[in-house]
A = this chain, B = another copy of it.
Amino acid sequence: MLEFLNQHRSIRKYTNQTIDNELLNSLLEAACRTSNTGNMQAYSIIVTTDQEQKEKLSPAHFNQPMIKQAPVVLTFCADFNRFTKWCKQRNADPGYDNFQSFMATAIDALIAAQTFCIAAESAGLGICYLGTTTYNAGEIIETLQLPELVVPVTTITVGYPAETPEQTDRLALNAIVHKETYHVFSEKEIDEIYSEKENSDFYKQFVTENNKETIAQVFTDIRYNRKNNEFFSEKFLNVLKKQGFLK
Contact = CB atoms under 8 A, between A and B. Distances in A.
Interface of A: 1-2, 5-6, 8, 10, 25-30, 32-35, 37-41, 43-50, 53, 81-83, 85-87, 89-96, 98-101, 103-104, 106-107, 110-111, 113-115, 117-119, 122-123, 127-129, 131, 134-135, 144-147, 150, 153-154, 168-171, 173, 175-182, 184-185, 187, 190-191, 193-194, 213-217, 219-221, 223-227, 229-230, 232-233, 236-237
Contact of A114 (B110, B185, B193): B110
A147 B185 CA distance: 11
14 contacts: A2-B26, A5-B30, A28-B176, A32-B170, A32-B173, A33-B170, A39-B168, A46-B180, A86-B194, A92-B219, A93-B220, A93-B226, A95-B229, A99-B237
A230 to B, nearest CB: 5
A215 to B, nearest CB: 7
A95 B228 CA distance: 9
B100 A39 contact: no
A169 B41 CA distance: 10
B230 A28 contact: no
Indicate how many identical chains form the complex: 2
B219 A40 contact: yes
